[in-house]
Amino acid sequence: MSKNLLLAMGLAGVAVVSVASAEEAATGAVDTSVASEPAAAGGFTDDRYYAAPFGTFIQPAGARNAQGGWGAGLALGRVINEYFNLEIKGFWQNLTNNGIPQLGATYQRSLNTSGVWDHGSTNFTGGSIDLQYYFMRDTFSPYAVFGLGGMNTSWGGSFAGVPGKLNNVTAKQTTSFIFEAGLGATYEVTDNFLLRGDVRYRGDTAAGNWVGNTSMFNDFLVNVGFVVPFGDKPAPAAAPAAVDACSGRDSDADGVNDCDDKCPGTASGTKVDDQGCPIVMELRGVNFKYDSAELTDGAKHILNGVTEQLLLMSTRKDIEVAGYASHEGKKGKEQHNLLLSQHRSESVAHYLRAKGVTNKLFAKGYGTQYPVADNGTEEGRIKNRRVELRWIGD
């Protein structure tokens, strides 16, 4: 093998080592293990090395004066990231018919003959470094490929019509740089076995060594083979747990965000402290018959809903059931109204206990104290005949 080809193969090897070293330096790793930092949510984690044997059909353009042939090769590569693979490959290919290129008149005159090359064969041996760009990574993964390398080309056979020493001799051997570009795809059969094929154009600068009618040989190749990754396929990176943005959420609508709410599930309409724990709940609509502690049917319906809310609330603090009255019965009889409010609070406490409320309930009547509306109107007196729940204790 000539010095030029050895130089080309050496450059390819240096490129592979350089890319691998640069990647390891960037990730802070010195081995082939997966980086310690987690990948992005659902991110690509495969970084395995692999071997990829393949067979080739090669179809040369007319300048080679040859027909199509076959070959084989082996690539060793690594998955760099979600988009790129890097490979170094070696190959051998053969054209079996009339392998001498078309010759110009100058070369014909140097042979002092107008004869033609007969029963020729052409052999290519070489290697390249290939960079594959994957448009997507899935069971079926299409890619574009670009390659640069070196190749040794040898022709052999006999030159028809030339007597003596030119018969049955090796005609020519030369070394050149090559470049390739093409499209292909892989199909994942299992985690450690993929089918692969691609179609490529190859430009061969060996034409510059001939006194011919072309400046470059053009070949078209179809490669078919398989890929065997080394090691187990890494599992996809798990999506990180969703961040609970509780600071912007108030599930129980009590005015305290869920991050700071120490008493979640507060019943609607409840006044709370700065930690979201209940202070006072006004039992709106829990009214009584005039001058009576008897609950109306509407009041009982409302208390049924209050019971459900109390059972769902996380706090089990003691509750004072505070009863209030308007100016009822004989005007000015405050003692009568105080006693009436006490009976009303006891009626509510008894009803809540019967429905299953487990908080300790303390009934207390306040008479006409702390009115919330004008006792001079019937509408105001209805509002003042009310019951409130007040959370007490620790």
Q: Is the pLDDT of residue 83 over 70?
A: yes
Query: Which pLDDT belongs to residue 79?
Result: 95
In a domain, 238, yes or no: no
Residue 308 to residues 20, 61, 266, 324, Cα–Cα distance (Å):
65, 86, 11, 24
Q: What is the DSSP letter of 64?
A: G
Last residue of some domain: 166, 199, 229?
A: 229
Say whether both 30 and 121 belong to one domain.
Answer: yes
Query: Which pLDDT belongs to residue 230?
Result: 95
Say whether both 200 and 259 belong to one domain.
Answer: no
In a domain, 194, yes or no: yes
Q: Is pTM beyond 0.75 here?
A: no
Query: Which pLDDT belongs to residue 55?
Result: 96
CATH number at residue 277: 3.30.1330.60
CATH number at residue 146: 2.40.160.20
266-296 pLDDT, tens per residue? 777 788 888 778 888 888 778 777 778 888 8
Number of Cβ atoms within 10 Å of the Cβ of 196 = 20
3-state helix, strand, coil in the chain (%, to 5): 25, 35, 40
In a domain, 223, yes or no: yes
- The SS3 of residue 52 is strand
Q: For residues 142 and 278, which has the higher predicted lDDT (pLDDT)?
A: 142
DSSP assignments along 379-394, one per residue: HHHHHHS-EEEEEE--
Say whether both 224 and 251 belong to one domain.
Answer: no
Say whether both 132 and 275 belong to one domain.
Answer: no
In a domain, 124, yes or no: yes
Q: Is the pLDDT of residue 249 over 50?
A: yes
In a domain, 28, yes or no: yes
Whether the CB-CB separation of 185 and 196 falls below 8 Å is answered with yes
Query: Which pLDDT belongs to residue 161?
Result: 46
Say whether both 192 and 63 belong to one domain.
Answer: yes
Q: Which domain covers residue 138, as residue numbers?
A: 3-34+42-229
42-80 pLDDT, tens per residue? 578 889 999 999 999 999 887 777 788 999 999 999 999
Last residue of some domain: 170, 199, 229?
A: 229
Q: Which range is least confidently modeled, 112-121, 148-157, 267-276?
A: 112-121
Q: Number of folded domains in the chain?
A: 2
In a domain, 22, yes or no: yes
Task: Give the pLDDT band (50/70/90) at residue 335.
Answer: confident
The one-letter code for the residue type at 320 is: E
Of the chain, the percentage scoring pLDDT greater than 70 comes to 74
In a domain, 240, yes or no: no
310-326 pLDDT, tens per residue? 888 877 788 898 888 88
Q: What are all long-range contacts of 112-115, with beta carbons under 8 Å and residues at least 24 apart?
A: 113/159, 113/161, 113/162, 113/166, 114/161, 115/159, 115/160, 115/161, 115/162
Number of Cβ atoms within 10 Å of the Cβ of 297 = 6
Q: For residues 287 and 9, which has the higher predicted lDDT (pLDDT)?
A: 287
